[in-house]
Amino acid sequence: MLYLYAPQDMVRYQHALQQALPQHKVQCWPEEVAVGQVDYAVVWNPPAGFFNGMVNLQAVFVLGAGVDRILKRDDLPSTVPIVRLTDAGMAQQMLEYVLYGVLHVQRQMGQYRRQQTLRQWQALTALSAGQTRIGVLGLGEIGGWVAQSLAAMGYAVAGWSRTGRQLPGVQDYIGEAALPDLLARSDILVNLLPATPQTRGLLNAYLLSRLPSGAALINAGRGEQVDEAALLGLLDSGHLRFAMLDVFEVEPLETVHPLWSHPSVLLTPHIAAMTQVQPAVAQISANLQAIKQGQLPHGLVERERGY
């Protein structure tokens, strides 16, 4: 039996999973099931106690790339494998999201918007792609695709990760000591890091201030990785000129939060890369078959690393 919790698109996921896995019975929360007979669970942020009694659970498939919330649960034994999505259509969406922010900065669209409100007709100098220095934090499946794609478009791209990854056209910065250098050469900083204890609070006042004057931040990683008060201070002072934010420390973002009304902020409700049903189900099906055959699934989470 496969038990599904996907409140945003339950019917489509159930239909697609049943078609892809006809030998399995796919049941959906909140249907009552014999929890002791559940072999696999496909979930996105299920309610507290969801896994209680699932003594035969062989694997949990997460409908997303981030697994920080599920790793914190107290109802899921540490012996149960967790498998995350490694792309499922999200990499291209993330590239599109980041590119929108990059072009906003590169082509000075924020300044044009301000000029429009004042009815000013004034052409501004635009940087070429090669003159636009982009730093990408996190070079996993999605971050690596974003960095490579931007480099292929002619942008001056550098990437940072803890272990290093050689990618075509991307300058590699490795380890904690190299992070300030990466920031210092980034006109646009793109955060796509996974949520781990090491990345929580990483972009604090000290590191954000290492960005060049007039730089911009695009955050589509995790909200708790950015010190929001420090970010607001740097935007208010003019040291940073723009921030495009998709994730926040508290979601939904509180209606009284100053980020909502800040003139240099563009925010979106955690939609930069949304899971697509068919690619996700195809990946889950392939990984489930791999597990049944004694093979390691793609996207198997290493709990100590957090991803």
Active site positions, annotated: 222, 270
70-87: buried (b, 16+ CB within 10 Å) or exposed (e) per residue? bbeeeebeeeebbbbbbb
Q: Which residue has the tokens 């990483």?
A: 202
DSSP state of 37: G
Contact between residue 275 and residue 63 where contact means Cβ atoms under 8 Å apart:
yes
Six-digit token string for 44: 């996105």
Q: What is the dihedral of CA 101, 203, 175, 247, to 10 degrees?
A: -50
Terminal-to-terminal C-alpha distance of the chain: 26
DSSP per-residue letters across 175-242 = SGGGHHHHHHT-SEEEE-----TTTTT-B-HHHHTTSPTTEEEEE-S-GGGB-HHHHHHHHHHTSEEE
